[in-house]
Amino acid sequence: MTESPQGTGTSEYVRYPTFARAALRPRWLALLAFALAVAAGFAWLGQWQLGRAVETATVVERDTETVRPLEEVLAFGDPMTDAAVDSMVTVTGSFRPGDWLIVGDRDNEGETGYWVVGLLVADSGSVAVAVGWTADEAGAQQVADRLNAETDSGPVVVTGRLTAGEAVDVDTDTPSADAIDRMSIPWLANMWSEVTEPVSLGYIVSHDDPPSGLVAIPSPKPEATAELNWLNLFYAIEWVVFSGFAVFLWWRLVADDVRREREDLGFIDIDDELDDDAAPSNDAS
């Protein structure tokens, strides 16, 4: 029940001041229109700054196509770096017989198939090399078996694109020679015979001619990346905040006006959620 204003000394009823009633007064409606216009201007400035952040973005160009020795790009056993990823490299070594595997779930221009992957042993370490792709699992296994049967492959020079190894979910993925579907170097290392030398934490997608029964694995030049202008992006966020503050300021001014009016009428400690049309005043005594 709405309380009567205190200390009025009259028996008149007065309308209880509410935010909705105050907001509909001409001066506050005019101020709201102004606040919305200011907010729209700030929002436009924010959009303009966002556009500038994109327009002035810096394109990051990396020389990934110059072929360099693998150890100049990434030493065996070192963590993969952004600068090393997708670089063209060359390395000389021998494929270890018995360590050829097939890796499934490999996409080739929209078609899922299998890679044949070998372990190339160089002077300072070893690296996994994907030498070719086929859509047929049995065909991939036949190629791997044929390569594993070669007891003396001899030194070879491999040229290809260095790629970061894939992560595995240790809770759900279990290494198995019959179901390898990740190019995870630690996972592959569990499938290889005893490995004592340092192993590269990346792998090479070979650009050399693939073994008979396989096709080359597509490995195009990576697209250039762009870095946004963070200063313009910060300004864009700042203008959006200003836009919201303009409306908040109008709300705060109206709320303060309602509070002062309630105090002047003697409505003290009244719940703000009350919205009675009228409040009885105290009878004169």
Is 92 part of a structural domain of the chain? Answer: yes
Say how far residue 202 (Cα) sits from the centre of its chain.
Answer: 22
Domain with 177 in it: 68-206
| Within-domain flag for 245 | yes
Query: Do residue 120 and residue 192 come from a single domain?
Result: yes
Residue 272 domain-assigned (yes or no): no
Q: How far is CA 264 from each of CA 1, 54, 129, rounded to the nearest angstrom?
A: 20, 54, 84
Q: Per-residue pLDDT for 162 more than 60? A: yes
Q: Rounded mean pLDDT of the chain? A: 82
pLDDT digits (tens, 9 = 90+) for 247-274: 999 999 998 888 888 887 777 544 444 4
Q: How deeply is 198 buried, as exposed, middle or buried, from its count of CB atoms within 10 A (0-12, 13-18, 19+)? A: middle
Count how many domains the chain has. Answer: 2
CA distance 186 to 201: 8
Name the residue with higher pLDDT: 160 or 187.
Answer: 160
Residue 123 domain flag: yes
Residues 187, 189, 191, 194: what is their CA dihedral angle, to the nearest 10 degrees? -160
Claim to verify: residue 80 and residue 28 sit in the same structural domain: no
pLDDT in tens, 27-86: 889 988 998 999 999 889 888 888 877 777 666 677 788 999 999 999 998 988 888 988
Same domain, 33 and 128: no
Question: Is pLDDT above 60 for 202?
Answer: yes
What pLDDT, on the 0 to 100 scale, is given for residue 169?
Answer: 66
Same domain, 246 and 136: no
Nearest 5°: phi and psi at 160?
-175, -170
* Residues 29 and 147 grouped into a single domain: no
Q: Are residues 74 and 138 in the same domain?
A: yes
Please check whether residues 202 and 75 belong to one and the same domain.
Answer: yes
- Do 114 and 236 belong together in one domain? no
79 and 130 both lie in a single domain: yes
- Amino acid code (one letter) for 168: V
pLDDT digits (tens, 9 = 90+) for 230-248: 778 888 888 889 899 999 9
Percent of the chain with pLDDT over 90: 37
63 part of a folded domain? no
The answer on 74 and 189 residing in a single domain is yes
